[in-house]
Amino acid sequence: MHTETHMAGTLLLCRDETQEPGLWFLFHCGPEGALAVDLTRAHPEIGYKAFEQSLSFEDSRPDSEKIVLLGGPERMDNGLLVLHDTASATPDSYRVNDNLSFLSYNYVRIDGKPPAILTDENRPGRITLKPRAAFLIVMGFRLWEGEALTQEIENGLWTTLPASSEIVFYTPRAQRRTKALTLIN
C-alpha cells in the first residue's frame, strides 16, 4: 500500500503519549514520504516577535497565542511553515484540503541583523495572507521516508483524524491533543 496524497490534511495521534507525544498535522504525502508538524510544542529558542514585522495581515483569532511552534526535528532552525486557513490563501499558498493551506519559507539568522524570511527561490519575502487570517507559525517538521508512515498506521501506532480549523487554530496548543482524543473516544 502506498502513502496516498489524500491522507494530507489529517491529524496523527498516538494514544500512548509516552511513545509518541503531541498532535501531528500531516501536510504532505507522496510516494517519497510524508511530512507533518507537531501542533502542541512551543519552539524553545525562536519567539513570535521575530516574525511580527514580516506579517502583512492581522490574526483573526482574538485570543490567539503569540508563539512559534516547534514542528519537529528536521530543519527546526530554518524550515519555516505558515499553516493557515484556506480562505486566507494567496497564490503562493499550497492547498492541503478544503480548510487548510500552508506557505513555505527559509528562516535565516545572521549575527547583528534581524532574521530574514526567504522564499523557496531564496528571494527576500514577507508572510502575506489575506486580511484577518487564522494561522500558525511553525519551525521544523517531521519526515517519514517512503512508506514508513503508512506502515506505522497499519501497525496501529497512529490514529488518523480529519483536521479541523477548530482544533488547529481555535484550540489552545496545550489542549489540542486532549481535544483530538475526545474525538476518538
How much is the average pLDDT of 60-78?
A: 89
Give tens-digit pLDDT for 148-164: 999 999 999 999 999 99
Q: Is residue 182 part of a domain?
A: no
The DSSP line for 23-43 is -EEEEEEETTEEEEEESS-B-
Place of cell 507533518: 36
- Which amino acid would we find at residue 117? I
Q: Which of 158, 133, 160, 134 is nearest to 148 (CA)?
A: 158
Give tens-digit pLDDT for 38-48: 999 999 998 88
Residue 69: CATH number of its domain: 3.40.1740.10
Residue 3 class from Cβ within 10 Å (0-12 exposed, 13-18 middle, 19+ buried)? buried
Q: Domain range spanning residue 44?
A: 5-174
Question: In the predicted model, what is the mean pLDDT of the chain?
Answer: 89
